[in-house]
Amino acid sequence: MTFGGDDAPCAQTSVMSIGRLGTKENIRHSKELFDAICTGLGISKEKMYISFQDAKSSEIGYNGTTFFEILGK
């Protein structure tokens, strides 16, 4: 994978949650994830994207049903 025109170490990360993401939360999550991933893998912060998805419970399946049914909402 290349990022910014070169093949230096880089990453693309996705975070999905049901109801636990938002503007303020994502700022905190981003800082913590960038720190952990960059330290652990030696990737520069300028060489990574994090994508956040706050999914509806009806959009995530588990164990033959969805979290809408499991959580009752």
Q: Tell me the pLDDT band of 49, cut-offs 50, 70 and 90.
A: very high
Whole-number percent of the chain with pLDDT over 90: 95
Predicted structure pTM score: 0.81
**Architecture label for domain 11-71:** 2-Layer Sandwich (3.30)
**Predicted confidence band of residue 12 (pLDDT cuts 50, 70, 90):** very high
Residue 73, pLDDT > 90, answer: no
Domain ranges of the chain: 11-71
Give the CB-side neighbour count of residue 73, counting CA atoms within 13 A: 3
Rounded distance between C-alpha atoms, residue 63 and residue 71, angstroms: 13
Cβ contacts of 28 within 8 Å, gap of 6 or more: none
Give residue 33's pLDDT band: very low, low, confident or very high (50, 70, 90). very high
DSSP string of 10-41, one letter each residue = -EEEEEEESS---HHHHHHHHHHHHHHHHHHH
